[in-house]
Amino acid sequence: MMLFVPQQALAKDYEMTAVDIEASVNTDGSLDVVEKRTFSFEGKFNGVYWRISEGTYQGRELKVTDIRAGMTQLDGQPAEKQFEESDSEDNQTFQVQQDDGVKQIKLFNKVRNGSATYKISYRVQNAVSVWSDCAELYWKFVSDGWDNVSKNVTCRIVLPVPANDKMRQGDNVRAWGHGNLLGSVHEDNNPNAILYKTPEVGTSEFAEARVIFPTSWVSQVKPSGPAHLDTVLQEEKEWAEQANARREAARERIARHQAFLRSFMQAYHVLFFGVLPASVVATAVVAFMLYRRYKRLHTPQFDDTYFRDAPTKDHPVLYTLLMRNGHASEQDFVTALMHLSAQKVIKVAPALTKAGKPRKDEELIILVLKSADELTDPLDKQTYQILQKVYEKEEKKKNKKKRKGLLGSIVDAFTEDDEYDADLEAAYEDDEADVDAGGIAGEKTGVGAGGFGAGDIATGGVLFQVSSKAFNRAARTSPKTYTSWFESWKAKAEAQALERNFFVDEHNNHKGIALALEGIVLIVFLLTFGAGLYLLIEGVPGVNGLLFASGIAITIVVMVVMHVRLVWAMDELSSEACETRAKLRAFERWVRDFTRLKEAVPGDIVLWNRILVLAVALGVSQQVIEELTQAMLQYVPNVDQVDVYPWFYTSPYSYRPLYTSFDSAVSRAHDVAAASSLNSLSGGSFGGGGSGFSGGGGGGFGGGGGGGAF
């Protein structure tokens, strides 16, 4: 069911937008901490949690006590609420758990799509190290291990300055900060406090305070260690020098980057306002001039509205390839069959029942009347070979059924097609049973209404026959083989079109020059686009986003128009191909307008054959073919006289045309073959005016904690 839940509904995230910490050092060396964290939620959350480290540190036992929790704000509005400690996990309660040296504090408060500020307070016993010459607070006020980035962090550390003393920065009090180089240490409005600030602390980073002050200020703690001040000063000096060196390097990198951006901006302006428009305009002018030249050289001399015959003696499939720039399709095979029919090599009509009526299953029969030796055109021979292969496959299936006994099974095991799928055998035999019941073989019905009964076959003159269903059976049982037949046939057709030199342009169109210019424009465009996008991402002032987007859009439109003109409109065609195309378009107009023109019906059967074949080859609609057929029947009352009667494309008996059966067979074969193919793939010191964090440190207590939301 989760699949139907919108992704947006499942998405949840949160940020910690502010952290405010106040830590007060007590005279007994303990540390009272009050921490407020503001969470911004997207989605539904049940609460938040802190993990606070405790355990042994520098020989002292650190222990977290006096834990309290609550909420101070909800969606930016005051909402003071003290939560009750409880293990019930009820709303607005908190729970304290011990987990391997870490106290986990979980605040339960259900929130959806809003912000809330939570507050915890606790005491860390023995937080201060008291040496013989100084007292030291060394504490990670933001631990590493938080689930998200802590942003806008401030931490105020209040020292227990006696009433008769005061805090003197760099004298009796020294403070350092450790963490990323964005942090800083400042004097606070409270004369007894030190203020730490950092814009953010990453999930694997920490923010750490180190403060040295007089031991007398923690009077309840007896010094228990050797002199330590010199060690601290030496460590912090080294870390500060390292941090300052990194800061200087960072400032130099920033200065270099800004200088780079200024130079980059100048280069972008040159590209955007100079090179790009100039190259676009120049290429557009060249493209326009070349296109005008192309149109002048490729305008055919034939400009009549209509043409009433085949323009050349070429195979009609070549006309189809000429109109499609040399690309053949399975549909062209129907045109090739019609061409064979026009040459009286084959004859097509519906199969008849024993009673001499058209069969209900709409099966069509192709009778082959001549041998391949009588054909001269290579494409006709290739078409003939496919008919022969389908026929041989049918015969093989029939012979298989006749074989009986153990010997027959052994023969089958060695002769069965590699692709044959036993699950398809039942479908094959069902189709074959329909053929046997249809009266094709052994019947005496003769020919009726253009159909075939057994009499036609028995009287001789027929070399072999192929039914429309045979194509479907071959596609189902041997899809790879079936597909390979037609891929080979298409390759032969395309090769023959190339040999005809239709696509050899004797004029030099200089398309290569234009495309080279277009390539230069593309390179300039990509450079300009990349430069502008980079500057926008960097937020460099002076880059107009709207102007940038408009210029890019205009350039894209111009480039697309140029490409269409140069690649799609300027076909590589010979002069003869241009003339032939013009006549084919005129012929197509004539066929579409034939019934409206009310011209005299052609009286030549051979001409009718050519007209029907060519109309189908050019993809004229079925309705127009039907209109042509009705016009033809006015002159030819007996459809048997017409060799290419359009059983191929339409039928007066509501039959499914041959091209429909053929297309479905090819589609099925491609789908099965494709499925089979897929299955086989397997710092410095704080001494007065403030200083930055150093990158050293990390030795303070409080690490390994963290927290987040749940």
CA–CA distances in Å: residue 316 to residues 305, 487, 675: 21, 19, 34
What is the DSSP annotation of 21-32? Answer: EEEEE-TTS-EE
Q: Is the pLDDT assigned to residue 453 strictly greater than 50? A: no
Q: How far apart are CA 70 and CA 261, in angstroms?
A: 49
Longest CA span, the chain: 135
Q: Which of 288-292, 297-301, 458-462 has the lowest mean pLDDT?
A: 458-462
What is the per-residue pLDDT across 111-170, written as a single tens digit (0 to 9) for each? Answer: 999 999 999 999 999 999 999 999 999 999 998 889 999 999 999 999 999 999 999 988
Q: Which residue type does 285 have?
A: V
Q: How many Cβ atoms from other residues are within 10 Å of residue 285's Cβ? A: 11
Count of Cβ atoms closer than 10 Å to residue 603 Cβ: 9
- Between 553 and 684, the more confident residue is 553
Q: What is the mean pLDDT of residues 269-284?
A: 84
- Residue for token pair 């015959």: 309
The DSSP bridge partners found for residue 138 are: 210
Please give the pLDDT value at position 458. 40
Which amino acid, one-letter code, is at 190?
N
Greater model confidence, 443 or 247 = 247
Instruction: Give the tens place of pLDDT for each residue, 206-253.
Output: 899 999 999 999 999 988 878 889 888 998 888 888 878 887 887 888
Answer for the pair 475, 669: CB distance below 8 angstroms, yes or no.
yes
CA distance 25 to 227: 21
Looking at residue 686, its pLDDT comes to 43
Do the beta carbons of residue 657 and residue 651 sit within 8 Å? yes
Mean pLDDT, rounded, for 566-574 = 72
- Write the DSSP assignment of 485-521 as a string of letters: HHHHHHHHHHHHHHHTTTT--SS---HHHHHHHHHHH
Confidence at 632, pLDDT banded by 50, 70, 90 = low
- Of these ranges, 9-13, 100-104, 377-381, 701-705, the one predicted with the greatest mean pLDDT is 377-381
Only one residue has tokens 């520098």, namely 58
| Higher-scoring residue by pLDDT: 270, 566 | 270
Alpha-helical regions (H) of 16-119: none
CA distance 271 to 236: 51
Q: Which tokens belong to 626? A: 């039907």
**Quick one: CA torsion of 259, 263, 264, 266, rounded to 10 degrees?**
140
Rounded Cα distance between 421 and 292, Å, is 58
Output 630 or 375, whichever has higher pLDDT: 375
The answer on pLDDT for 388 being more than 90 is: yes
Query: What value does the mean pLDDT take over residues 188-206?
Result: 91
Q: Is the pLDDT of residue 629 over 70?
A: no
What single letter denotes the amino acid at residue 489? W
Confidence of residue 613 (pLDDT cuts 50, 70, 90): confident
What integer is the mean pLDDT of 528-541? Answer: 82
User: What is the pLDDT at residue 662?
Assistant: 54
Please check the confidence at residue 52 and state whether its pLDDT lies above 80: yes
Residue 441 backbone phi and psi in degrees, to 5: -105, 135
Query: What is the mean pLDDT of the segment spanning 189-206?
Result: 91
**Whether pLDDT at 419 is above 50:** no
Which residues does residue 102 pair with via DSSP β-bridges, in sequence order? 53
Tell me the average pLDDT across 39-47.
Answer: 92
What is the CA angle 47-50-52, rounded to 5?
165
* Integer Cα distance of 448 and 664 in angstroms: 28
Cα(535)–Cα(542) distance, integer angstroms: 9
Cβ–Cβ under 8 Å, residues 486 and 492: no
Q: Which residue in the block uniquely carries the two structure tokens 């005016």? A: 689
Residue 402: pLDDT band with limits 50, 70, 90: low
Cα–Cα dist 364/366, whole Å: 7
Give the number of other CB atoms < 10 A from CB of residue 306.
16
Torsion of CA 305, 309, 313, 317, to 10 degrees: 80
DSSP H or E stretch at residue 266: helix 229-270
Tell me, what's the pLDDT at 591? Answer: 83
Q: Which of 107-116, 580-589, 663-672 has the lowest mean pLDDT?
A: 663-672
360-370 confidence digits (pLDDT tens): 665 778 889 99
Render pLDDT for 550-568 as a digit per residue (tens, 0 to 9): 778 888 887 777 776 666 6
Look at residue 157 in the predicted model and tell me its pLDDT: 95
Q: In the predicted model, what is the mean pLDDT of residues 268-294?
A: 83
Q: How confident is the model at residue 9 (pLDDT cuts 50, 70, 90)?
A: very low
Q: Could you tell me the pTM of the whole model?
A: 0.51
What distance in Å separates the CA atoms of residue 243 and residue 694, rounded to the nearest whole number? 5
Torsion, Cα of 243, 248, 250, 253 (10° steps):
-160
- pLDDT reading at 404 higher than 60: no
| Interatomic CA distance for residues 399 and 393, integer angstroms | 10
pLDDT score for 361: 62
Which residues, in sequence order, are bridge partners of residue 62? 55
